[in-house]
Amino acid sequence: MSRRKLYEGKGKILYEGPDPGTIIQHFKDDATAFNGKKHAVIQGKGVLNNRISEFIFVCLEEIGIPTHFIKTLNMREQLVKACEIIPVEMVIRNVTAGSMSERFGVEEGMLLPRPLIEFYLKSDKLNDPMITEEHVLSFDWALVEELDEMKRVALRVNDFLSGLFLAAGIKLVDMKLEFGRVYDEEGNLYILLADEISPDCCRLWDIETGEKLDKDRFRRDLGSLEEGYREVARRLGVLEDNVTEESAFLKKLEERRNQPTAPQSEKAEAAKKKGVKKPAGKASPGKKPEKE
């Protein structure tokens, strides 16, 4: 069945959802850096980002932080709430790294005295320029109350995820968050966390070795991107050790397709052994009972 595509970005595709106010978010295997100048397709990346982002959003919902996440549909897709994305990306930094180190000429790895929030205009065309709170308010990209709420939630998310990753032996160096506007059933406007939270938008370093487990592996050619993402998923408990979840899923599906169909008499005998009860009512001779 064909679906109406609403938007396609570097890492995701958005489709019209099955119900009003919903969107299907599809995670691609594409890896990009430097605003799309470097590009590759990494098999399994979309599956890993989907599972990691699902896990994190569920955890955040459990502590009372509203997100656009509704449920996972399959290995690569989530059902999310449709919302109006605020065109301001927030980057929360705990440790100096990346563009921050380049801009200010400081070494990577310096622990900041407190989390630092930066703002960037969400615009691929303009290369996501860094902006100030005054820019946000002057150009009406967000209201004062919305900006205050975004900062409050961002710091709370950072505090929670820093502890979550620390328990997994990972240091949360920095991360990018996006927010959206949505109306509740009473017609009140509120802000929720949108997009995704995955190694695509977080810097994650191993606490003991400093090994980078995020997209810097792709940006700087530091090793297999997929291996780094899988290690994050494994430590968070969303993947089993040494198992590529998508491969296991496809293998099981193929096994089911190739499994020979047992004769009707054998199925009936197997049902008896399992203690399956026949459905109430008369059954036509030779008619297969409906599945419960």
DSSP per residue, the chain:
----EEEE-SSEEEEE-SSTTEEEEEEPSEEEETTTTEEEE-TTHHHHHHHHHHHHHHHHHHTT--BSEEEE-SSSEEEEE--EE-SEEEEEEEE--HHHHHHHT--TTPEEEEEEEEEEE--TTTT--EE-HHHHHHTTSS-HHHHHHHHHHHHHHHHHHHHHHHHTTEEEEEEEEEEEEEE-TTS-EEEEEES--STTTEEEEETTT--B-STHHHHTT-S-HHHHHHHHHHHHTSS-TT--HHHHHHHHHHHHHHSPPPPHHHHHHHHHHHTPPPPSS---TTPPPPP-
Q: Is residue 215 part of a domain?
A: yes
Per-residue pLDDT, 219: 95
**Cα–Cα distance for residue pair 168/156, rounded to 1 Å:** 19
Q: Is residue 210 part of a domain?
A: yes
**Cα–Cα distance for residue pair 76/26, rounded to 1 Å:** 6
Q: Can you give the CATH number for the domain in which 75 is found?
A: 3.30.470.20
Mean pLDDT of 27-37: 90
* Highest mean pLDDT pick, 48-52, 269-273, 274-278: 48-52
Domains in the chain: how many in total? 1
Q: What is the mean pLDDT of the chain?
A: 87
Q: Is residue 133 part of a domain?
A: yes
For residue 96, the enclosing domain spans 5-245
Q: Is residue 253 part of a domain?
A: no
Print burial letters for 188-198: b (CB count within 10 Å at least 16), e (below 16): eeebbbbbbbb
Residue 195 in contact with residue 178, Cβ under 8 Å? Answer: yes
* C-beta pairs of 63-66 under 8 Å, 24+ apart in sequence: 63/160, 65/153, 65/156, 65/157, 65/160, 65/193, 66/190, 66/191, 66/192, 66/193
CA 206 from centroid of its chain's CA atoms: 20
- Is pLDDT above 80 for 277? no
Q: Is residue 84 part of a domain?
A: yes
- Is pLDDT above 70 for 233? yes
Residue 215 in contact with residue 200, Cβ under 8 Å? Answer: yes
Q: Is residue 257 part of a domain?
A: no
pTM for this structure?
A: 0.81
**CB neighbours (10 Å) of residue 202?**
24
Q: Is residue 286 part of a domain?
A: no
Per-residue pLDDT, 35: 78
CA-based nearest residue to 107, from 120, 98, 118? 98
Residue 203 in contact with residue 184, Cβ under 8 Å? Answer: no
Pick the more confident residue, 280 or 147.
Answer: 147
Per-residue pLDDT, 281: 40
Per-residue pLDDT, 1: 61
Q: Is residue 72 part of a domain?
A: yes
